[in-house]
Amino acid sequence: MKMYLPAAVLLGLAQAASAEVTVDNCGAPLVFEKTPERIVVHDMNMTDMAFALGLQDKIVGLTGITGWYKTSPDFDAMRGDIPELAPKYPTVENLVAAEPDMFFAGWYYGMKPGGDVTPDTLAPFGIQTMVLTESCVHLHEGRPVASMDLLFGDVLRLGEVMDVSDKAEMLVSGWKEQLAAIEAKTADAEKPRVFLLDGPADAPFTSGKFAIPDAMISAAGGTNVTHDMDTSWGRTSWEAVAAANPEFLVLLDYQTGNGAADTFKFLQEHPVMAHIDAVKNERWIGLRYEELTPGPANIDAIEAIAKAMHPDLF
């Protein structure tokens, strides 16, 4: 004997089945049986992704914001009363207390390989971890070199998981149009040699081929002099940078003191770096942390770099 279920029941079953979402997570499937209702996000760049998708009502906490950075009025307005669970790296206890379904973080963006907070240590508490794609290289060698797909893919993935794919696709489409317009203007121009510096130090901390600034510099019409570094973010030597003789500098601005201007002054007084073309010609731009890590601010930052490097084209 056949049994017929009421239409409302069939609709409910169909909706429940369609709610399951599987996304790539550093090469492994990450399955959500339903849309997360409570999420925690680490770091400004990933928080900006969530804000761009209008997910504030699902965010029960942020981590890794005030311990390092000065936030902007726009960020504070979008954040509203969302609490910060930890100013730097969170503990398992910080996260479990907030009872999230999902933690959006990355390796060295809230988690450390072998550390206390990892997808494996959070799983027993019912917390799934979506890992920032740029950071996958720290555990999975053989990842492709950086491209702007690092940003696009993560925003589309977050949109799919949080059931706002339409908004994510619209954002990514607009960003691609903006980048295409920038690249069209710089396509026939010479590509200046560019060096990114994350603050004064005994040994320079910079972006290698797996970090998104490498792709940003290329999109802006330049060439990253540390592209051959087989890492995402890492250290090189002043001598190696000086030998490449950068013509333009991207200086990470933590907005403390005089920010990037202090870093440039450090380079002007440095016995090796004082002699490179970029320093002698005072060609540099200061950009904030969230502009140089995967996030929505990347796109306007690329345009700012392009305009500073190729002022005659804009």
- Name residue, tokens 């995967």: 294
Look at residues 124, 126, 146 and name the one whose alpha carbon lies nearest to residue 136: 146
Contact 44, 289 (CB under 8 A): yes
Token pair recorded at residue 44: 């400004």
User: pLDDT digits over 70-105, tens only?
Assistant: 898 999 999 999 999 999 999 999 999 999 999 999
pLDDT in tens, 276-293: 999 999 999 999 999 999
User: Quick one: pLDDT at residue 17?
Assistant: 43
Tokens representing residue 167 in the block: 């908004």
* pLDDT tens digits for range 188-205: 999 999 999 998 889 999
pLDDT at 69: 82
Do the strands 84-86 and 21-25 form a parallel or antiparallel pair, or are they unpaired? unpaired
What mean pLDDT do residues 246-265 have?
A: 88
Confidence (pLDDT) at 210: 97
The span from the CA of 200 to the CA of 86, in Å, is: 26
CA 287 to chain centre: 14
Pairing, β 248-253 against β 233-235? unpaired
Give me the half-sphere count of Cα atoms (radius 13 Å) on the Cβ side of residue 15: 8
DSSP string, 262-289: HHHHHHHT-TTGGGSHHHHTT-EEEEEG
* Residues of each domain in the chain carrying CATH 3.40.50.1980: 21-143, 188-313
Span 31-70, pLDDT tens digits: 999 999 999 999 999 999 999 999 999 999 999 999 988 8
pLDDT grade for 274, boundaries at 50, 70 and 90: very high
Does residue 256 have a pLDDT over 70?
Answer: no
CA distance 86 to 98: 11
CATH architecture of 188-313: 3-Layer(aba) Sandwich (3.40)
13 CB-side CA count, 13 A? 6
Position 9 pLDDT exceeds 80? no
As a whole number, mean pLDDT of residues 253-271 equals 88
CATH, domain range 21-143: 3.40.50.1980
Mean pLDDT of 112-131: 97
- Distance between CA atoms of residues 249 and 195, nearest Å: 5
What is the residue-averaged pLDDT of the chain? Answer: 93
| Mean local confidence (pLDDT), 289-300 | 97
